[in-house]
Amino acid sequence: MITVKGDEMEFENLKVETTNRIAVVTINRPEALNALNEQTLSELQTVFTDVNNNDGVRVVIVTGSGKKAFVAGADIVAMQQLSALDARRFSKLGHELMRSIETCSKPVIAAVNGFSLGGGCELALSCDVRIASENARFSQPEVSLGVIPGFGGTQRLARLIGKGRALELLLTGDMIDADEAYRIGMVNKVVPQEELLETAKSMATKIIGKGPFAVKLVKEAVCTGLEMDLDRANQYETELFGLCFASLDQKEGMLSFLEKRPANFVGQ
């Protein structure tokens, strides 16, 4: 159940805290290792719809409660008895969420603590950056259950680490540790468990110090450009580059550089 208290939303399966323009979204179903059921997907969708339009949020961090799991997968107990039509609807709900994260105007950092399996791995893949604790484990084990990934895993994993490596993981269902995930480019950093959230917040703070209008357009250029051929993508970058010069942030950023002082960006 989602309730509104003042200007903050309260959720049954999530904890959301915003401090210094960083929203930390914690999936909070420890009894199910933070598995994604339909309600959790819907609550996450509500959060990302809000933060996408919230000027008080500049970066989002997604993590899981406890030390054992980021998200141990989609909720198999809830999925077991689904009909084909219900399964398709559940998959569509997951896809809509992952796409909302991927296209969110704010950078999204996954702070992966512990198991990131199935739908949890797909959730991490939809984020812009992945920071893993040393005990993080990644897998797309769906073939062991007689199904395939349903929240974009067959598509985003291949785009991130390449077709061959992705197919190996998808076809075998093998689990890999944080160091192997880093080696193949699946995560950006591996840090000790106790440093995970602070590392994510440090990166978020660094991003917040940059021009917010440019940060937004960088994400748009990369995510949209990956869906185009190179010539069209480069032309798209050219258009966004020109658009920067109609912004107050560009004027302030270049003036502050010339005046050798910190920039005072306004996000416009």
Catalytic residues: 122, 142
Helix, coil or strand: residue 108? strand
> E strands of the chain, at which residues?
3-5, 8-10, 14-19, 22-27, 59-64, 69-71, 108-112, 115-117, 129-133, 137-139, 176-177, 189-191
* Helices 84-102, 38-52: crossing angle, 10 deg rounding: 30
Helix, coil or strand: residue 21? coil
Q: What's the chain's length in residues?
A: 268
Phi, psi torsion values for 199, nearest 5 degrees: -65, -45
Continuous segment of H or E residues that includes residue 56: none
Cα 142 to Cα 34: distance, rounded to the nearest angstrom: 17
